[in-house]
Structure 1
């Protein structure tokens, strides 16, 4: 009986305020809810999420794409305050632009049993230019408190009817009710691409609709009305079939970020509508991107891409001077690569298309990704090298599984030599050949040839990034330690370190390092080869740290890795449906020598061990020895693949569990 009552109570909680989703009809029950019954850890919940995207014909303008949005969000705690801010991207191109209007938004709080409203004002709305073709409208609601409900409503009008934003059904927070609808005239045929693990099946139907045209005619009078111009109006209707797809979901679970995922958006449940072709009345069929060949040709023919590759006059003199005495192709590539990195600074914008053009970027010494790397490719081709642009989707942008023009948002350069090939990205001054910035390490890129053809290239590096750490430690009788640490990093580990160190204040950098290791005191800090990219980067310092051993009676207990040991397993899920993406293969080696305090001898040490993952995906070796006055620990840990399939998740989870257990095993010293 009690269980039945609990279930009935839960059902009531889930349905009690699922009655009215009209704008500004927020209930007291919604405001009183303390947590989501199905996800108590959620900081916020979409109580209602509505989207309708449809075509609307405007005489003189043609078809417009209209998207209407209505969202109601419950905010439980401070971690959910970010959901009170809405950001809407607005595209513009060639004098045409998207516009947002009919913005309405409110914050609701419950005070002494009454619902208090706070309205969005103009002071809370900001429009900024993100790039030449992209603006962003941001609006932030006032009076945000724990337990409040916020509600947004707005409309976006777009002349770019071929660019339909993805219909997304799963978010970082749960959704209690979601309604989405897509209406499209029969003149436009879309491919439907679905992704994610949540089963989403639309309800489809057809409906008659019509467009009314108003015709205006003028005529001159005759006889007694001679000389008077008369205006008359007439109308005509064009009837057509409208295809409607609707989605209705309830209690959609949150899709939460996990460690080592290239982009959680790759696995977010969503539907992409890609315009395949259009057949307007009394017009020929116009085809859009239906194959990767179509996509590549469309991008290459763009004046913001292919034409930019053919411009050479602006750099000829300087490049001639750079390579005049060098004939070796590899050396020429290196010289031109370094020249571009030092000449033009990245402005922080990703794009496969140029913004102001390569010539202006060269002159102003600043540009977006396309301007820098198309410029680099053009210079390499000018120097007689087999260089090609490579379309890339950044990690945050996701993996372009289906042929789509929006699937790529980045471009790098590819140079082919008889003995192999290299990938280059000049947007990062610390990047080296085949060491792309981490944001660009995302499965495969698409190499574009002059004739519009394309081939795939693996973006993940084959060579391991190394991190070799040497430590000399003096263990004191009170459990404190002092000593020196030296680390040597290569490839992506070196790139990452240089980004963090060279662009920071050194005192701030040291403070962060001390905080990372919970109160480590660092002195004599030094970095070598910070700017010499041809060599590994080396970090060294002296340190002191207290409370690194437990003193119990006449014995001392401690982990031989001290503050460097791994605290917890990053892989906590029972099962994982996504691949584990480390970005690049790596190897970490530790050589730790521990000088023991006088008057103590070794009672026990962990056993040496070695274990691996299946199919040589990972290997861990732990070797320990002692000579009475000191202990030496050697560790060699390898991840041999950039991506590990979810089929190996259990093995990977167990592998890390074994590593953590081994690193945390204790050495026991006893007083002589």
Structure 2
């Protein structure tokens, strides 16, 4: 049987190998070496260690159910690793068809005064917890857990859903010494197999076994028996500026392509985009709703309808949807889609709101198309073959005067042409029913910026005061707009709490409203500095762009994804009486660049007459940085934090 394996190596950088000979990683059996060794030298931060993990999936010859035997052996290194003794098994059911779990066996091993003490899990300590109509969890906690314990557990998962062959995780949030997955797939089922995460398999073999499955009528099928294994797998540690960890966690996934029955019937599950386009167009929810015609006079004012400038008309229609309809928070874009209900209830899901926007723009003779996307938390959509279930969001592409705009009316704080941050997750699928769908890159074309201008002076009474002006654009403005316009008093209180050494007054916001392109504020400050006699120490950075370095890992094997390009500008002017004070010390100029001109920090300070002038410019020229940039980015951010924290100015009385 031919199985097509798509190796999606999303991470290109090499991973640090972990190994420790004292642990017995070759089998499920617990050894003295497993119990006596209580440290893992290659990762001193690890709270637990998966010594051995094994899975074996095969089709039962009697009932054609998929059975998966699972075994794990885990070392508990410290108290923070006790959570590894909590096991939860997810079971899915649909109607009368249910997944089951059998043969749960779990044991805790401890070494006490040189003796091995085994504590088995009792049946009474295994619980079932119903999550909802289709999902149940079987849970248990291994007993007698201590620092240094070794736990083992095994069970068999039985599933009637062969369309969903058991995927397998090789990587975890703790290091793994050895992980093996065996599969046996009859030729009746053809799967697309995808290896995710970029970590190479140490074992990857497939051999054919004759007549592994037989039917009652004499038909038979050969099986592809595969062995996948990885060794010395580092822990996957989540850090800021990343999309869903499902994009990068080392694992193997299966998508059913075709089923061939013993009776000769053939069912195709994986289709071409051409087929998907045709089915999507006639879909009872999204497809039909997109084709509905709407009488503009029923929903829009004559002023909007009679607007001749297409861009102004599109802006007005977009604003009308924002102000009139509320997103109910539902991401189910292929269910319960109804423009009629949205208009009636003034609330609806993502598809309903953005399809109404699409249809109104279309009726207004504006070129629009729907775009299917997967949000950042949902993970990347598969591009090798169509998997519609990968998508969980719908936005609108509008082309006006040869310029493309991406629109989403679910957030009434967004500017025309912006989409929520949750939607910045690589490519989307543009559904063009005339010319066929295609992938489009969903990236903001504008740089989001932060500006601060501080001008202070030291008066004859040695009081420092002055004004601060700030401006934020793009995604930097969005959260500030939401925070301020939702509760202005709370916003000001938070600002005052953020700077306890400043007295803030004359606070003014001069933005153009909640959908404006920027957020601008000004305020007066009195700076309460520490009196040290004849000296004044002044840190000019009242506002810090980054309070700490967000990058702390020794190594990062997945991209640094900011979502958008951005830049930060800080300008500081300090006026003083040069007959009374002299500048003794001020920071040195710094010019730091990221590789390939992908970012820069420029920091300068100088005195001109009786003024100290200082500026800090930070630019990130990429929205996504590959893992090989991580060491440079880590150092880059460290230097930025250092500049903001330690750039002191020393003035001394003459």
| TM beyond 0.5 | yes
Q: Is residue 2:619 matched to residue 1:638?
A: yes
Cα gap change, 1:383 to 1:78, in 2 (>3 Å)? farther
Equivalent-residue separation in structure 2 for 1:505 and 1:14 (angstroms): 59
Match of 1:402 in 2: 384
Query: Given the superposition, is the C-alpha separation of residues 466 and 249 from structure 1 closer, same or farther in structure 2, using an over 3 Å criterion?
Result: closer
1:13 and 2:22 aligned: yes
Match for residue 445 of structure 1 among 428, 432, 447:
428
2:605 is the counterpart of 1:624: yes
Contact 1:528–1:538 under 8 Å retained in 2: yes
Corresponding residue to 1:46 among 50, 66, 70: 50
| TM-superposed deviation, 1:41 | 0.3
Counterpart of 1:668 (choices 627, 650, 653) is 650
User: Is 1:203 aligned to residue 183 of structure 2?
Assistant: no
Which residue does 1:463 correspond to in 2?
446
Once the 2 structures are TM-superposed, how far is the Cα of residue 564 of structure 1 from its aligned partner? Answer: 2.0
Q: Residue 537 of structure 1 corresponds to which residue in structure 2?
A: 519
Of the structure 1 ranges 329-338 and 139-148, higher mean CA displacement relative to structure 2 is found in 139-148
Decide whether the 8 Å contact of 2:593 with 2:600 is kept in 1.
Answer: yes
Give the alignment partner of residue 588 of structure 1, picking from 552, 568, 588: 568
| 1:604 lines up with 2:585 in the alignment | yes
Q: Counterparts of 1:247 and 1:260 in 2: how far apart (Å)?
A: 31
- Structure 1 184/380 Cα, relative in aligned 2: closer, same or farther at 3 Å? farther
Residue 243 of structure 1 and its aligned partner are, at CA, apart by: 1.7
Which of 488, 508, 515 pairs up with 2:471? 488
Gaps of at least 5 residues in structure 2 are 1-18
Contact 1:194-1:271 within 8 A present in 2 as well: yes
Report the Cα offset of residue 412 of structure 1: 1.4
Change (3 A) 1:540 1:162: farther
Measured in 2, the distance between the counterparts of 1:424 and 1:274 equals: 32
Return 601-610 or 143-152, whichever deviates more: 143-152
In structure 2, relative to structure 1, the CA distance for the partners of 1:99 and 1:472 (3 Å cut) is: farther
Give the match's secondary structure for 1:336: helix
8 A Cα contact 2:465 2:525, kept in partner: yes
Shift of 1:639: 1.9
Where do 1:15-414 residues align within 5 Å? 15=24, 19-20=27-28, 34-56=38-60, 64-67=65-68, 69-77=70-78, 79-80=80-81, 83=84, 99=99, 101-102=101-102, 104=104, 108=108, 114=117, 126-129=129-132, 135=135, 137=137, 139=139, 141=141, 147=147, 160-164=161-165, 166-200=167-201, 201-207=203-209, 208-211=211-214, 213=216, 236-289=217-270, 291-294=272-275, 296-297=277-278, 299-300=280-281, 302-312=283-293, 317-318=298-299, 323-355=304-336, 357-399=338-380, 400-405=382-387, 406-414=389-397
CA positional deviation for 1:164: 3.8
Please list the CA deviations of residues 288-315 of structure 1 after superposition, one character each: whole Å capped at 9, or x if unmatched: 3365545555555543432332345799
Instruction: Give the distance between the partners of 2:292 and 2:125, measured in 1 at CA.
Output: 45
Q: Find 2:413's aligned residue among 415, 430, 454.
A: 430
SS at match of 2:397: strand
RMSD: 4.5
Structure 1, 349-358 or 491-500: larger mean CA deviation:
349-358
In 2, the alpha carbon distance for the partners of 1:510 and 1:143 equals 52
- Measure how far apart 1:420 and its partner are: 0.7
Distance across 2 between alignment mates of 1:266 and 1:56: 32
- Summarize the Cα distance change of 1:478–1:407 in structure 2 as closer, same or farther, 3 Å threshold: farther
- 1:480-521 deviations in whole A, cap 9, x for unaligned? 9766544221111112333455567954x667667766x556
Structure 1 pair 435–14 and aligned structure 2 pair: CA distance change class (3 A): same
2:5 alignment counterpart = none
Inter-partner Cα distance in structure 2 for 1:427 and 1:285: 42
Point out the more displaced range, 642-651 or 84-93. 84-93
Cα distance in 1 between the residues matched to 2:82 and 2:303? 53
Judge which range, 469-478 or 427-436, deviates more: 469-478
564, 581, 602: which one aligns with 2:544? 564
Structure 2 CA distance for partners of 1:637 and 1:309, relative to 1, 3 Å:
same
Task: Say if 1:28 and 1:110, in contact at 8 Å, map to a contact too.
Answer: no
- SS class of match (2:415): coil
Q: Deviations over 1:165-209 (max 9, x none)?
A: 643212222123323223221012222232333211423233332
* Secondary structure in 2 matching 1:317: helix
Counterpart Cα distance in 2 of 1:530 and 1:144: 62
Q: Which residue of 1 aligns with 2:14?
A: none
Deviation at 1:585, TM superposition (A): 1.4
Mapped contact 1:481–1:544 kept (Cα < 8 A):
yes
**How much has 1:458 moved relative to structure 2?**
2.0
Aligned pair count reads: 625
**1:296·1:453 contact (CA, 8 Å) conserved in 2?**
yes
Tell me if structure 1 keeps the 8 A contact 2:296–2:305: no
Which has the higher mean CA deviation after the structures are superposed, 560-569 or 276-285? 560-569
Question: What are structure 1's unaligned runs of at least 5 residues?
Answer: 1-9, 214-235
Residues 146, 362 of structure 1: CA spacing in aligned structure 2 closer, same or farther, 3 A cutoff?
Answer: farther
* Residues in 2 aligned to 1:500 and 1:86: alpha-carbon distance in whole angstroms: 40
CA distance in structure 2 between the partners assigned to 1:265 and 1:239 by the alignment: 37
Contact 1:587 1:637 in 2 (8 A): yes
Bigger mean CA offset, 50-59 vs 301-310: 50-59
SS in 1 for 2:23: helix
Q: Which fold has the larger relative contact order, with Cα–Cα distance below 8 Å and residues 6 or more apart in sequence?
A: 2
Describe the SS at the equivalent of 2:477. helix
Partner SS state of residue 13, structure 1: coil
